[in-house]
Structure 1
């Protein structure tokens, strides 16, 4: 099977639900940002220390959930194709919160703003967090522009919001595990 089809050569692409839309369509922008985040998470995952098996499992789970979320973003809300999609389980947000709490328990209380950086894998986690925040912004725009059921997109929005928190805490955790002090922002 060829990777290229030529179907997008005139600036249009197909949603999962079959509609042809411009490549700058809000849905394309939204799932494109999510795809960028998922790719960046792959870079972070490939950079994680080998002994951190739980973190590797976290990333496997998160990346799989983002594929599910991307399918929802790539499908028009009023399309019959929605019936083929799997909703994100209601538990995904609580599960991510539990992982945030577990990592946070090992960290000192944060009383000041810190600058992104430190170990390369921690810096990558900070970068992924900023892409995740962009995904949130794009999702809110998409939700505001849909006339219809947005329940699943709102659930995805909450998950992406928690994911950005996870990535922030992860960056701190990775720096601590490597013995790298956080750089405090000085006014």
Structure 2
């Protein structure tokens, strides 16, 4: 892709529409634009998680593996955004889904089975991983809403689904590697 932004503001969106890569103009609340926006939000929060992991990797060298697995995800999310903006463009491939599944399997083996539901917390990194997980689920819902109107081709739906699973397991791995106990959900006391 050789396109570069030479001007940040274009004024073409001032009336509530935006342009897609295929030349169409759609309302800014179109399901395709909503999906693109959710993927962008996830990518931004993933950047924050990666920055935090980088800061902590000196104290916890085992976090470098998490960085290595998650860093390409930012690029693939950008690819997914490109696919959503330009429906004929295909950048993601099944190998990316396989890569996420391999990391999920490896990390799941390390952390073991869940004993109970866990809450997003324990450290800022664990909580941020859960923020990313919840945004991945939101992005997946927006992509599914778009898919119901304009069927999506390729592996984007599978990728975003696996990414949310990966981020859940990443939160557990981060907790383990930081030596932080997972916060187990405690059900409210039943009224007598």
1:122-133 → structure 2 map (5 Å cutoff)? 122-133=126-137
- Counterpart mapping for 1:46-85 below 5 A: 46-48=51-53, 49-50=56-57, 51=61, 52-75=63-86, 77=87, 82=88, 85=89
Q: Does 1:32 align with 2:37?
A: yes
Q: Which residue of 1 aligns with 2:171?
A: 171
Taking the TM superposition and a 5 Å limit, the aligned residue runs for 1:1-187 are 1-48=6-53, 49-50=56-57, 51=61, 52-75=63-86, 77=87, 82=88, 85-146=89-150, 150-152=152-154, 155-187=155-187
Q: 2:17 and 2:73 mapped to 1: Cα distance? A: 29
Report how far residue 181 of structure 1 moved: 0.7
Higher mean C-alpha deviation, range 1-10 or range 173-182: 1-10
Question: How many positions carry a matched residue from both structures?
Answer: 176
TM-score by length of 2: 0.86
1-side partners of 2:111 and 2:92: how far apart?
30
- Displacement of 1:86 in angstroms is 3.5
Please state how far the C-alpha of 1:59 moved relative to its aligned partner.
2.2
**Structure 2: gaps (5+ residues):** 1-5, 188-192
| Secondary structure at 2:166 match in 1 | helix
Alpha-carbon deviation of 1:2? Answer: 3.2
Q: CA deviation at 1:18?
A: 1.4
Unaligned regions of 5+ residues in structure 1, if any? none
Q: TM-score, normalised on structure 1?
A: 0.89
